[in-house]
Amino acid sequence: MASPPRGIRGPGRFEAALVPVAAAADGALVLPEEPGTGGRWALGAAPDASRGTVLVAGRLDTRESGPGVFAALHQWELGARTVLTGADGRAHTYRITARRSYRQETLPGGLFDSGGAPRPALVTCAGRYDRATGRYEDNLVLYGTPASPPSPSISPSPPQRR
């Protein structure tokens, strides 16, 4: 049974609880107001799903609180590891493999797709802040792939006695 993500951890001290979020009438995800909490698209894939995108988004900043925890995504390098923890307590590790910027109004539909290879997509604001609209112009999206399971360690054979 699918277990939705409840938390995320990453490089440095990046850590956030995740709550389910939905899209507003204009298609934008309605993120939690708390800048230390992220949202997971409620209709997205779960970390243990064999297909689909686990869409996680969080605030870059707020007027009241300053930088949000998801501001750290701007510093992540390709190859960074992130861990999504499901409601069942299981941890799922991913490696960041791509970094893209999109205009907010042109986020790819594939982010909301339940098909395709299993992957996380981590989203936060980027670009110029437009005071008139109260929004950033762009979104930063980090894509990942499941990290390969650790190789079993091979212990050397005990020395032979002669």
Domains identified in the chain and CATH numbers: 5-146 (2.40.260.10)
Closest CA to 125 of 114, 116, 134, 112: 134
Mean pLDDT (the chain) is 88
pLDDT the model gives residue 54 = 96
3-state helix, strand, coil in the chain (%, to 5): 10, 45, 50
Does residue 159 register a pLDDT over 70?
no
Does residue 153 register a pLDDT over 70?
no
pLDDT the model gives residue 158 = 42
- When pLDDT is cut at 50, 70 and 90, the band that residue 149 belongs to is low
Tokens 């999109």 belong to residue = 102
- When pLDDT is cut at 50, 70 and 90, the band that residue 87 belongs to is very high
Which has more confidence, 80 or 111?
A: 80
Segments of the chain assigned E as strands: 5-9, 15-21, 37-41, 53-57, 61-62, 66-67, 81-86, 91-103, 119-130, 135-146
Token pair belonging to 35: 């800048």
How distant, in Å, are the alpha carbons of 18, 37, 72, 142 from that of 3?
13, 19, 26, 22
State how far the Cα of 72 lies from the Cα of 68, in Å rounded to an integer: 8
